[in-house]
Structure 1
């Protein structure tokens, strides 16, 4: 496996979720797919999605568009040690971080997204890293038992692993949660479920909307 083709979010209302993602972020259903399903879940779902952009003005533009489309603020956009960003929760419950490593604007605001990053909150970084390497992913960056980022190569969505409690703190939510993650990851792979219960499927097997 070398690439994530798309991620699918289980949502209560596909039409409403589609309106949100196209209006707020300009995303189509090629990379972020939607499925009409409501498996039981409570609290933190164990993952976040990040939109990385080029400058703070773009963060603000996407953040404001998300709020206008019905999202709620988990962390207001602000400067940090690593750059500038904020966290929103979409109406369907998915958590989105919008961020840039730049601290100053270099041009007028736009809404161009440079990359989508899927961060999975895991119980054991070393075990999950080993598992994904065995699935065929290549480690791009690794910071001990804290964070692992896999090489994106040709993938439109980058995969990274973070300790679950640290990811929840970064998102501005409590770490506790049970039930479905309400996400399925599609890639050039046979179906499998990782050590933390995240389900993967073969991209060509999708029967999704």
Structure 2
């Protein structure tokens, strides 16, 4: 593929964790394969780190399977699995501090439960959503639907979805206070090369 003309894409997530072996054991609950990588880091972070990872599934039973597996592996429940205005879902915090949301727009099950994940979505907290939207457009990402404090970028099949959200709104969606400091402790792979966004998120 000619990456000089094709839209840029989020190709992988690298979490900076205290212990790689422990992280590998925990995230095996989600089986994200090559989309998720780890590197060891002792950088300090406190409170909300400014991002969430959402795992989108096709029905409530699948969300339940994944959330139960995460809890069994050591996750802390932030929002218990439940029906909501938009469907069904729950939010947990991984042992390394990453916030993971598992959700579906469906409220009823239509097939046997499984751990299949349909989409992985990274939402980044932006201090200035319009400015960050312009920045990412300059890096080759194509804006899709947007409203006020939220922007979603177009995604090719097989790549991770990317969105920007106002920090206070993203923290509220995650179920945590918006205050936080220190390193984000996450980096993202893309097809255009290294850069750092206006809020300090690193792309490699």
TM-score between the two structures when normalised by the length of structure 2: 0.94
Deviations 1:132-177 (A, max 9, x none): 1111111121012x11100112452110011111111111111001
Choose which of 187, 200, 208 in structure 1 pairs with 2:190: 187
Quick check: 1:169 aligned with 2:169? no
The answer as to whether partners of 1:3 and 1:155 remain within 8 angstroms in 2 is no
Once the two structures are superposed, the pairs formed by residues 137-156 of structure 1 within 5 Å of their partners are 137-144=141-148, 146-156=149-159
Match of 2:37 in 1: 33
- In structure 2, the residue matched to 1:6 is 12
Q: Which residue does 2:26 correspond to in 1? A: 20
> Structure 1: which 5+ runs fail to align?
202-209
Counterpart secondary structure, 1:17: helix
Q: Which residue of 2 aligns with 1:59?
A: 63
Aligned equivalents of 1:177 and 1:155: distance in 2? 32
Q: Could you say if the C-alpha distance between residues 80 and 108 of structure 1 is closer, same or farther in structure 2, counting changes exceeding 3 Å?
A: same
In the alignment, structure 1 residue 93 sits paired with structure 2 residue 93: no
SS class of match (2:152): strand
Contact 1:90 1:96 in 2 (8 A): yes
Please give the root-mean-square deviation of Cα atoms over the aligned residues, in Å.
Answer: 1.0
Aligned ranges for residues 94-133 of structure 1 at < 5 Å? 94-133=98-137
Contact 1:46–1:181, Cα closer than 8 Å, also in 2: yes
Cα distance in 2, alignment partners of residues 140 and 153 from structure 1: 12
**Which 5+ residue runs of structure 2 have no aligned equivalent?**
1-6
Which TM-score applies when normalising by structure 1?
A: 0.92
Segments of 4+ moved more than 3 angstroms: none
Question: How far apart are the structure 1 equivalents of 2:97 and 2:47?
Answer: 10
